[in-house]
Amino acid sequence: MPIISAPQEFNEDDLYVDLRPVLGSSIYLKCEGFNFSGSIKQKAALSMIEAAEQSGVLKEDSILVESSSGNLGVALSMIAASKGHRFLCVTDSRCNLAARRLMEALGAEVRIVTDPDPEGGFLGARLALVRRLCATDPRHVWLNQYRNADNWRAHYRWTAPPIAQRFPGVDVLFIGAGTTGTLMGCARWFKEHRPDVRIVAVDSVGSVTFGRPPGPRMIPGLGAGVRPALLDESFVDDVVIVPESETVRMCHRLAARGFLFGGSTGTVAAGASQWLARQDADRTGLVSVAISPDLGERYLDTLYQTNWVQGVYGDEVAGVGAKPGVETVGTAEAVESAA
């Protein structure tokens, strides 16, 4: 058992759940939620803060500012508290109450955007507020997770290599697409070191990331209202688009077996399950790994609250009774041509 003096020094990197008993197909779910910030975003947060410190951009009187739907904000709050930095998080009304309270408990200031931008949605509105804050006070330092290469570098260094070491025979890797930092970092590493591994991105219906039409999204984490600047589709082999209703169903399906995961994990697991189900019978021996970004405690008032699910998705989804409706789009090129 390690002994640490700062919370960011610990990250459980070798815990996997075999989902075959739950889903009927062998998917090894890499659990990234067992660290002090509770999500995979701890890696990106640490990478970006350390780079800002080393470059001299982050000074003693600086105020870190970032747009986040929740998990990165919690991770930045934790590391900022540990290192003695001030932090201001710009989020929106979809951010879970638990995540907001965690940030505030760690000393962060939280600003909540309540009205989406007509074209860029909530993300566009959050980014506009961040830009105004930086323009009015030079002490603000925007890490900009959406364009910061240290976002994907974190996963190139700290996420992909452990997967390859634990599963040397891995055939396919499923990764959720938010800022696409995790996706791009892992995809770049595998394309460089293990180009035979198939990289499948999983996104949400309503997200514009892969050229699909914008739409309402109520579950924070995956998806984007503005196309991520970090995304390079040449590193992606396939894309699966998952309706939020299937995210809810998958989360409840996993919870029924004792695994309480967050919304992003439900989306990735649903996409992976459907992608594997559509493969030819002679490919059933595929070794597949999916990345689980977080756990489910922060979703108790939403995903795991019957009244919330009924109000947003209807009785059928709340009863977990409908047939799956996951859409496998295919190659990244096919997604682009379909847009």
pLDDT tens for 174-216 read 999 999 999 999 999 999 999 999 999 999 999 999 999 999 8
CATH C-level class of 41-142: alpha beta
Name, in order, each residue with C-beta under 8 angstroms of 303's C-beta and a sequence gap of 6 or more: 219, 247, 248, 251, 252, 262, 263, 266, 296, 309
What is the rounded CA–CA span in Å between residue 235 and residue 199? 8
What is the rounded CA–CA span in Å between residue 142 and residue 90? 11
What is the rounded CA–CA span in Å between residue 33 and residue 75? 11
- Contact status, residue 61 vs residue 297, Cβ threshold 8 Å: no
- Contact status, residue 233 vs residue 209, Cβ threshold 8 Å: no
- Contact status, residue 76 vs residue 109, Cβ threshold 8 Å: no
Burial tier of 28 (Cβ tally within 10 Å: 0-12, 13-18, 19+) = middle
Domain 7-34+159-338 grouped into CATH 1.20.1250.20: no
What's the confidence (pLDDT) of residue 329?
57
Own/partner pairs, 100-109, CB within 8 angstroms, 24+ separation? 100/70, 102/74, 102/77, 102/298, 103/73, 103/74, 103/77, 106/74, 106/77, 106/78, 106/80, 106/81, 107/77, 107/80, 107/81, 108/73, 108/76, 108/77, 108/80, 108/81
Q: Position of tokens 């992909």? A: 160
Tell me the helix, strand and coil percentages in the chain, rounded to 5: 45, 20, 40
Regions of the chain where pLDDT drops below 70: 280-284, 320-339
7-34+159-338 and 41-142: identical CATH topology: yes
What is the rounded CA–CA span in Å between residue 148 and residue 41? 14
CA-based Rg of the chain, rounded to a whole angstrom?
Answer: 19
The token pair that represents 216 in the structure block: 């309402």
Backbone φ and ψ of 337, nearest 5°: -70, -25
What's the confidence (pLDDT) of residue 136?
94
What is the rounded CA–CA span in Å between residue 8 and residue 75? 9
Q: Position of tokens 């939403």? A: 302
What's the confidence (pLDDT) of residue 221?
83
Name, in order, each residue with C-beta under 8 angstroms of 307's C-beta and a sequence gap of 6 or more: none
Nearest to 29 by CA among 144, 221, 132, 166: 166
What's the confidence (pLDDT) of residue 265?
97
pLDDT tens for 227-269 read 999 999 999 999 999 999 999 999 999 999 999 999 999 999 9
Name the 3-class secondary structure at 244: helix
What's the confidence (pLDDT) of residue 321?
44
Q: Position of tokens 């007509």? A: 118
Q: Where are the domains of the chain?
A: 7-34+159-338, 41-142
For residue 305, CA distances in Å to 255, 263, 280, 319 come to 13, 13, 37, 12
Backbone φ and ψ of 20, nearest 5°: -55, -45
- Contact status, residue 183 vs residue 214, Cβ threshold 8 Å: no
- β-strands 238-242, 327-330 pairing: antiparallel
